[in-house]
């Protein structure tokens, strides 16, 4: 038994409470323990040294094994990492190719959409223009018609005069003035006009259609014989808002009217611009 074990047993054994006999016994034992400690110390030291040496060698072996195992593990990990990196590179490359294909398809689709958008925009503009024209037509309903309203002959005069057609049949929004004989365009557009009259052929008849003081067309019938004859004319004009149109009688000519309302002046809007 080692001295250390003996001391441990003495320290852990329940030998109290001490009495006089116990103290005497302990005094008797103490020299023996001391002698045993002295006798066993070299052996214990030797054995401890051997144990320590064996433990150190064992630890060295474990460390060398751990180092070898760690190197193999690292090599295995590196191999696995390289393999996974290769797979990732392959996946990234595949995704990159798919992305390029998708981007190309998207670019083509965007171009098609741009073309379609332009076409739709043009169609929308045309549709809006048509709608605006319909709104204007709906808003501006322009038409007038009137006869001279004078029984007998008008003229001849020694100068050109404006004929005032006083007998009004139609006059939307009062576009025609029966006091002055002048039509005023309420909106820019294309207009249709007609005018005509009869006369006794003992005297010539000549009528002019004027736009803003400028002669546009005329109708004429010369003196020939002893009877009544008629003449008329019509045209289409482009008018700006506020333009004036009226009929004038040429100097030294005349027209005739009665209850049948032969001399007339009429016009209406075809469409707006």
Q: Are residues 267 and 182 in the same domain?
A: yes
- What is the dihedral angle through the alpha carbons of 214, 220, 223, 225, rounded to the nearest 10 degrees? -170
Rounded Cα gap, residues 243 and 182, in angstroms:
10
Q: Which residue has the higher pLDDT, 170 or 74?
A: 170
Structural domain count of the chain: 2
- Range of 51's domain? 3-68
Q: Would residue 113 count as lying in a domain?
A: no
In this predicted model, what pLDDT tens digit does every residue of 131-186 receive, in sequence order?
Answer: 877 776 667 889 999 999 888 999 899 999 999 999 999 999 899 999 999 999 99
Contact 256, 153 (CB under 8 A): yes
Rounded Cα gap, residues 176 and 185, in angstroms:
9
**How high is the pLDDT of residue 18?**
45
The CA-atom distances, in angstroms, between 148 and each of 126, 205, 254, 262 are: 44, 15, 12, 8
Q: Would residue 214 count as lying in a domain?
A: yes
**How high is the pLDDT of residue 189?**
94
Contact 256, 150 (CB under 8 A): no
Q: Would residue 190 count as lying in a domain?
A: yes
In this predicted model, what pLDDT tens digit does every residue of 200-249 receive, in sequence order?
Answer: 889 999 999 999 999 999 999 998 888 899 999 999 999 999 999 999 99
Domain final residue pick, 68, 86, 110: 68
Q: Which residue has the higher pLDDT, 45 or 190?
A: 190
Q: Which residue has the higher pLDDT, 87 or 69?
A: 87
Q: Are residues 44 and 153 in the same domain?
A: no
Per-residue pLDDT for 35 more than 50?
no
**How high is the pLDDT of residue 191?**
98
Q: Would residue 191 count as lying in a domain?
A: yes
Q: Are residues 171 and 57 in the same domain?
A: no
Domain of residue 238, CATH code: 2.60.120.40
Per-residue pLDDT for 26 more than 60?
no
Q: Would residue 52 count as lying in a domain?
A: yes
């Amino acid at each position: 038994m080692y001295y250390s074990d003996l001391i441990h047993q003495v320290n852990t054994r329940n030998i109290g409470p001490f009495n006089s006999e116990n103290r005497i016994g302990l005094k008797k034992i103490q020299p023996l323990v001391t002698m045993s400690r002295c006798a066993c110390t070299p052996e214990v030291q030797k054995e401890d040294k051997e144990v320590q040496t064996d433990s150190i060698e064992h630890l060295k072996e474990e460390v060398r094994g751990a180092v070898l195992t760690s190197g193999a593990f690292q090599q295995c990990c590196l191999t696995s990492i390289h393999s996974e990196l290769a797979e990732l590179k392959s996946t990234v490359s595949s995704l990159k190719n798919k992305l390029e294909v998708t981007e190309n398809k998207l670019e083509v689709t965007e171009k098609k959409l741009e073309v379609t958008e332009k076409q739709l925009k043009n169609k929308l503009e045309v549709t809006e223009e048509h709608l605006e024209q319909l709104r204007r037509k709906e808003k501006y309903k322009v038409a007038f018609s009137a006869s001279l309203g004078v029984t007998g002959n008008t003229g001849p005069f020694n100068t050109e005069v404006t004929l005032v057609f006083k007998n009004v049949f139609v006059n939307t929004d009062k576009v025609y003035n029966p006091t002055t004989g002048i039509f005023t365009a309420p909106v820019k557009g294309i207009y249709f006009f007609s005018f005509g009259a009869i006369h006794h052929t003992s005297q010539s008849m000549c009528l002019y259609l004027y736009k803003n003081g400028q002669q546009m067309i005329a109708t004429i019938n010369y003196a020939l014989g002893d009877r009544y004859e008629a003449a008329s004319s019509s045209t289409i004009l482009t008018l700006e808002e506020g333009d004036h149109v009226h009929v004038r009688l040429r100097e030294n000519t005349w027209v005739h009217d009665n209850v049948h309302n032969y001399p007339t002046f009429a016009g209406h809007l075809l469409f707006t611009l």
